[in-house]
Amino acid sequence: MTTLGPSLTVTGDITSQEDIIVHGTVKGTITMQQGALVIAPAGKAEAQLEGSTITVQGTVSGDLSATDKLELTDSANVTGTIITPSLILREGAVFNGMIEATKNGVAAKPATQKVAVAAGSVKKAS
């Protein structure tokens, strides 16, 4: 597992075959060939994120593409386009952008599968 510490800022492209936890800032792209990507609560990514499993606890501005599962926890703040077959939005997560549902990691036709989501917090239904 690789950990990018809170004082670290990376500008450029990251490609990994092992789990990564981002506590600092990444500007560019993160491509996970294997392993899981976690943007920690204090972590920030102004980046395009690609991988099989992505968990966002911090702030992301950019497109996110997960072939298996993408989770926005209660502390997540995301702006961009999400492409994934499985999306988990926890209560308290903030998301502003588009969601494109996929099947088996392959993007569907955009005209029929994109869903607009307004900015705001995901709230638990009463």
Q: Is residue 125 part of a domain?
A: no
Q: Strand, helix or coil at 113?
A: helix
For 100-126, write each residue's pLDDT tens digit. 987 765 555 444 344 445 455 554 444
Cα angle for residues 44, 45, 47 (degrees, 5° grid): 170
Q: Is residue 24 part of a domain?
A: yes
Cβ neighbours around 116 below 10 Å, total: 8
C-alpha span between 123 and 12 (Å, rounded): 35
- 109's CB contacts (< 8 A; 6+ apart) are none
Number of domains in the chain: 1
For 69-84, write each residue's pLDDT tens digit. 999 999 999 999 999 9
Q: Is residue 100 part of a domain?
A: yes
Phi, psi of 113 (to 5 degrees): -115, -15
Query: How would you classify the pairing of strands 64-72 and 77-84?
Result: parallel
For 5-52, write each residue's pLDDT tens digit. 999 999 999 999 999 999 999 999 999 999 999 999 999 999 999 999
Q: Is residue 124 part of a domain?
A: no
Q: Is residue 15 part of a domain?
A: yes
Containing structural domain, residue 60: 2-117
